[in-house]
Structure 1
């Protein structure tokens, strides 16, 4: 390929060299760590989806932001950075334009494109939040470790946005051997789903188990429930005692998020342990508080585990509980759950590790304004050889297209940047409207449970409609009216 513009050649070479330089000289290997000891665990590896590798520049960056410690806040700051870069580019470009009439025309185009850029950011945000992209998954190379999630929700929780079947598939995709469904203040539907699996209506791996997240003075996971009952109006002690009487266990969820009652209070009520990490609440809460919980549990023989607390948002998984259970595959479903519950009941921390996915250095909420820059830098640090090749391929692919268009005046007019921006705006709007329709169709089957489908369906519909009208008008003007 021969570049008709030396600037394009320099940009291509600079991008390839920068990515390679960061990856090679500052490489950060993705690994699994023990949340209690902070040691790297060599018995577990990372599997990268072939689809992610093929489309790495598009999927990889989104997934890396998805796993950020403060994802929503950081994505907001990413928008600010994009707007700032867009503004700076517009100012520099307008200065370089010599004819005043063309300057006015260029500035007008940029102002017209500004809302579309905001809309595309929102569409990308929704994509990260709701669509199950092919994220990295854990590879369990250990001899006896069984990967379990003790905290998850579906759309029978008031704040869930995933079906029971979807939740089962999500756990299967993310390497779990078993998981508890802990919907808020009810478990009737979970109990029926568990019975359906026991009746071989769908595969037994991963194993589904019945629990409930009881909203008392703090959220409590009631695990190992064997019958239907309502916890409405229960006190903490009643919920705990009833669960224990049925040979279940009780875990205090994300106590660090609010500290509503003391650790001593829950210990005296007879809880079995505490979540030491919760990836849905605050993945990097104050480490002083972390040490307080850890020391208290160790001193009082209370089990520590991690909660994924998955609700259907942000589909990348970053936490697993590894139970040491020899002969897992030979056990029947009842024996498997009893083995899990036994480790929790006996508070045997030596047989339970909390695993964390680690793809970046630890950081706090300070200076999040600059987090998009550091997140992008850390992303490139984690790439392997095949991901770098993917980046080089796509950079070269778009460089060839750009070079071809630049050498043809007719193509330059048809595929100009300002036209493509509005076309992508239309596509982004259709994506939002399509997802709104999907959620609208789910409402009927879930009335009385989740409130999210109706809320998100309305939000996505009106946002998508406004976005579609605006992008459609701009696209029509740029392509059809101007051509006429």
Structure 2
């Protein structure tokens, strides 16, 4: 399942090429990527939620992403609209959101990457003490690719000490063909008899780190032995070495063809007689 995704009502989807990425399109995207359930967590609004949730997988579960003080907090659960301006003015307001999210909104709170790592790296224990329920440790957004394996291990250790759950998320805004991370969450074998979204929330509410098994497709990370500024070269190398011989040959043919076409155009322009 996926704990963090968006539709066209989010501010960073409206007006882009993905402006038609509504709840139905989000569901199709997650079906192709192999998900059974997905939380719709648009920025500061619940207007993207379907009026009638689907009765078959992939299930669409309700949520919202709040722009709080120097943090993005994902609330998982059937929340009404949340006035984010109440929580984005100070650290105290952020902590108030974490303290009251369960009682006021009936939701579990998850700190999203990369904001908490950039702005609250040394405050995670305080966030947990205030009532934070979970942490993203994988986010498919390129801007969230800065966390190292060692740092991730320390975050998991903190989550374990504080009985927080950890998740990986697509943070899908409609771009791309598939996901690079999935979450395995055991739920009752007969979901028709229970609300699958509530069953998922009940599992992660009480399960801590062990509640979710994260499956991540390999990608380069900013490790000490691989500087972040070299990741474009590394990504090309990773793609190349993962190809079959036939696929690698087809890439070479296309690259050679593009080079030859450009060279021919340049030659033609140089040899064309002046008018």
Please report the TM-score for the alignment, with normalisation by the length of structure 2: 0.76
Displacement of 1:267 in angstroms is 1.6
Displacement of 1:325 in angstroms is 2.1
Q: What secondary structure is seen at the aligned counterpart in 2 of 1:317?
A: coil
Kindly report which structure 2 residues correspond to 1:73-84, keeping only aligned pairs within 5 A, or say none. Answer: none
Tell me if structure 2 keeps the 8 A contact 1:223–1:243.
no
Match of 1:181 in 2: 40
Match of 1:354 in 2: 214
Correspondent of 1:388 among 226, 234, 245: 245
Q: Distance in 2 between matches of 1:171 and 1:197?
A: 15
Matched, 1:325 2:187: yes
Correspondent of 1:341 among 184, 201, 224: 201
RMSD: 3.6
Q: Distance in 1 between matches of 2:125 and 2:254?
A: 61
Aligned residues: 257
Please report the TM-score for the alignment, with normalisation by the length of structure 1: 0.46
Match of 1:210 in 2: 62
Q: Distance in 2 between matches of 1:238 and 1:150?
A: 22
Kindly report which structure 2 residues correspond to 1:83-482, keeping only aligned pairs within 5 A, or say none. Answer: 148-160=1-13, 161=16, 162=18, 163-164=21-22, 165-187=24-46, 189-191=47-49, 193=50, 195-198=51-54, 204-217=56-69, 218-234=71-87, 235-240=93-98, 242-245=100-103, 246-254=105-113, 255-259=116-120, 262-280=123-141, 281-327=143-189, 330-332=190-192, 335-358=195-218, 363-364=223-224, 366-367=226-227, 371-383=231-243, 387-392=244-249, 417-420=262-265, 478=269
Match of 1:114 in 2: none
Tell me if structure 2 keeps the 8 A contact 1:224–1:247.
yes
Judging changes above 3 Å, is the alpha-carbon distance between structure 1 residues 214 and 334 closer, same or farther for their aligned structure 2 residues? farther
Judging changes above 3 Å, is the alpha-carbon distance between structure 1 residues 416 and 250 closer, same or farther for their aligned structure 2 residues? closer
Tell me if structure 1 keeps the 8 A contact 2:160–2:209.
no
Displacement of 1:224 in angstroms is 0.7
Displacement of 1:243 in angstroms is 3.5
Tell me if structure 2 keeps the 8 A contact 1:253–1:307.
no
Judging changes above 3 Å, is the alpha-carbon distance between structure 1 residues 482 and 315 closer, same or farther for their aligned structure 2 residues? farther
Judging changes above 3 Å, is the alpha-carbon distance between structure 1 residues 388 and 208 closer, same or farther for their aligned structure 2 residues? same
Judging changes above 3 Å, is the alpha-carbon distance between structure 1 residues 347 and 478 closer, same or farther for their aligned structure 2 residues? same
Greater strand proportion: 2
Q: What secondary structure is seen at the aligned counterpart in 2 of 1:294?
A: helix
The gaps in structure 2 that reach 5 residues or longer are: 88-92
Indicate the larger mover: 261-270 or 337-346: 261-270
Tell me if structure 2 keeps the 8 A contact 1:359–1:382.
no
Q: Distance in 2 between matches of 1:207 and 1:309?
A: 17
Judging changes above 3 Å, is the alpha-carbon distance between structure 1 residues 337 and 373 closer, same or farther for their aligned structure 2 residues? closer
Q: Distance in 2 between matches of 1:167 and 1:179?
A: 9
Q: Distance in 2 between matches of 1:398 and 1:295?
A: 46
Tell me if structure 2 keeps the 8 A contact 1:153–1:183.
yes
Bigger radius of gyration: 1
> What do the CA deviations read for 1:80-125 (whole angstroms, capped 9, x no partner)?
xxxxxxxxxxxxxxxxxxxxxxxxxxxxxxxxxxxxxxxxxxxxxx
Q: What secondary structure is seen at the aligned counterpart in 2 of 1:256?
A: helix
Q: What secondary structure is seen at the aligned counterpart in 2 of 1:183?
A: coil
